[in-house]
Structure 1
Amino acid sequence: MTLEKTPPTPPTPPTPPTASAAAAAPSAAPPPQSAAALARARRRASAVRFWRRYRTHRGGLFGLAGLSLIALMALFAPLLVGSDVQSVTAAPGTALEAPSARFPLGTDQFGRSLLSLLVWGSRVSLTVGLLAAGLSVAIGTLVGIVAGHYGGWFATVIMRVTDWFLVMPTLVLAIVLATVMSRSIWTVILAIGVTSWPTTARLVRAQTIAVESRPYIERARALGGGHRHVMTRHVLPNVMPLVLAQTTLGISAAILTEATLAFLGLGDPIIVSWGGMLQDAREAGAVSSGHWWYLAPPGIAIAFVALAFTLCGRAVESVLNPKLGVSR
């Protein structure tokens, strides 16, 4: 009697997972982001938070709107008034005309439109304010970080020099520099920038000392971080909010100083600026003769821009340091 062997049963194919099982299965982890992508995401989130807080300040929004208007006017000045607005020979009107439909702000002593000169002068005033404030803040930031980081006799010497610049009147030093150097817009920028940095230096030094007392600075040094690494990677990012706020506040002061130097006749006589317009009005006798339209527009423009920058600076300072409690 022979036993018949039963053939083995073929293996059953695996059944595909159902929708519920697929949903229950853990999802694959997303690919890790690069360090650059994470840094960009953090910057975007920080910018969004900054704008969300900034727009709650009504004064800051008013200043930003005014600055945007002045910046657009300065940027498109060649298209709005033409490039020959400074020409004396091509003046379209007569001397010292009162405001009219043709010349809404009147004319100067050469017959040039004061409205066109006001639009063109915004380019010079904003350029001088931005560059001079940038130079001043750059010098003050460098001096403050170096003095706060190294300390000792080196910092003592630097801060005594800073105190000397601080007690000296900024306008007097700027007048001296503008007098001994050639009369140009770059001389005015240099004179303002190298005389108005001490306040920024003292603020940045105090902030640097506070930052370097934190524990992570000690850990960075223990891991081999040198002076340059600590100052550029740890101290500078922490003092940048203070530097930004000081820059916005310093631009208005630089514009006022430029207008003062131009009014005193220390600016470039070839370039039209708001301070130069006031100087021309004084020389033309606008004060004694009652030509108010020659004096009022540049003066109001200077006050408006200075106020706008000050409002923006106070709003930025309040957003970056809420402990200040700046009124909205």
Structure 2
Amino acid sequence: MTAPPVAQTGPRALARQRRRRSAARFWARYRTHRAGLVGLAALGLFALVALTAPLTVGSDVSSVTDAPGRPLESPSAQFPLGTDQFGRNLLGLVIWGARVSLLVGLLAAVLSVAIGAVVGITAGHFRGAYGTVLMRVTDWFLVMPTLVLAIALATVMSRSLGTVILAIGVTTWPTTARLVRAQTLAVESRPYIERAQALGGGHWHVMSRHVLPNVMPLVLAQTTLMVSSSILAEATLAFLGLGDPTVVSWGGLLQDAREAGAVSAGDWWYLVPPGIAIAVVALAFTLCGRAVESVLNPRLGVAG
């Protein structure tokens, strides 16, 4: 009687199994952070609202010509959050604005962290004149006010979502670069890096195969934390009139409320909903980021 064939486990299957086990361990530890779960639930709700906005409020919610109500109506059964200066439904505008604010926040955070990771890894790996120049450039960006640089970029470029994402991304990367560089120096001081170089591993091999996997947890946590800052920065630029005037965002709604004199007129329903939405989403991303950071680096503290 022949023995049953032994299942062949290739390197790809082993890699998938390791990733699944790592993801399971991550989720098991993340679930112990109550604040992180609250933030994750809030983000899931906002993401669902943003994704289903075309079905729930329709793409014509921002139309001025087809506004369903009178200008600056107070909250009622027909308009739960009232109307804006053009008679548009503010509840629909806040829901639609979630799409833009979340998209800009995510893309700007990814751009910022990507730039910071590349600068940090290369500056930590090449420790000569190249690394010194990169760190001096990073220091210059660190001492410059981020908001001022973002305003300058948004002013000289065309007013669009791409400009806002670029302005935020290229002005907020220095903190990530500093953190990644410190982690790179710690990784490259380990003996296996010296062995890899002795066996013929070049700069690209060391940075991509050894340094990058070790700094990815830090990059992931930093990305989560940067999203909240990016959303606040987008709201600030839109409030200052530097956002894309053709789209609806939470910061743009605050700018419209300021121009309509909602503060002096006491039209609180024009100001409060987008402001609360910005604050809640920023807090949710911060809670998730802190939980991710604590899971990936248990020395930071115990479960919250």
Instruction: Report the TM-score range of the alignment, normalised by the length of the smaller protein.
Output: over 0.9
Partner of 2:295: 319
SS in 1 for 2:219: helix
Larger Rg: 1
Gap regions ≥5 residues in structure 1: 1-15, 17-26
2:103 to 94, 115, 127: 127
Distance 2:302 2:96 in 1: 35
TM-score using structure 1 length: 0.91
2:199 to 208, 223, 233: 223
Aligned residue pairs total: 304
Structure 1 vs Structure 2 CA RMSD: 1.3
SS in 2 for 1:94: coil
Partner of 1:19: none
Partner of 1:246: 222
CA positional deviation for 1:285:
0.5
SS in 1 for 2:62: coil
8 Å CA contact 1:314–1:326 kept in 2: the answer is no
Distance 1:243 1:30 in 2: 40
2:213 to 237, 240, 245: 237
Q: Which runs of 4+ in 1 moved over 3 A?
A: 27-32
User: Are positions 1:309 and 2:297 aligned together?
Assistant: no
1:149-181 superposed Cα distances (whole Å, 9 cap, x missing partner): 011111111100000000101000000000000
Partner of 1:137: 113
CA positional deviation for 1:277:
0.2
User: Are positions 1:158 and 2:134 aligned together?
Assistant: yes
TM-score using structure 2 length: 0.98
SS in 1 for 2:158: coil
CA positional deviation for 1:31:
3.4
8 Å CA contact 2:164–2:234 kept in 1: the answer is yes
Partner of 2:34: 58
* Larger displacement relative to structure 2 (98-107 or 214-223): 214-223
Matches for 1:52-131 after TM superposition, within 5 Å? 52-131=28-107
Distance 1:223 1:213 in 2: 16
CA positional deviation for 1:228:
0.4
User: Are positions 1:188 and 2:164 aligned together?
Assistant: yes
Distance 2:255 2:267 in 1: 14
Matches for 1:43-54 after TM superposition, within 5 Å? 43-54=19-30
Gap regions ≥5 residues in structure 2: none
Aligned AA (1:151): R
8 Å CA contact 1:315–1:326 kept in 2: the answer is no
8 Å CA contact 2:32–2:303 kept in 1: the answer is no
Distance 1:223 1:33 in 2: 27
Partner of 1:13: none
8 Å CA contact 1:118–1:274 kept in 2: the answer is yes
1:86-109 superposed Cα distances (whole Å, 9 cap, x missing partner): 100000000000000000000000
Matches for 1:255-274 after TM superposition, within 5 Å? 255-274=231-250
Q: Identity rate of aligned residues, in percent?
A: 78
Partner of 1:148: 124
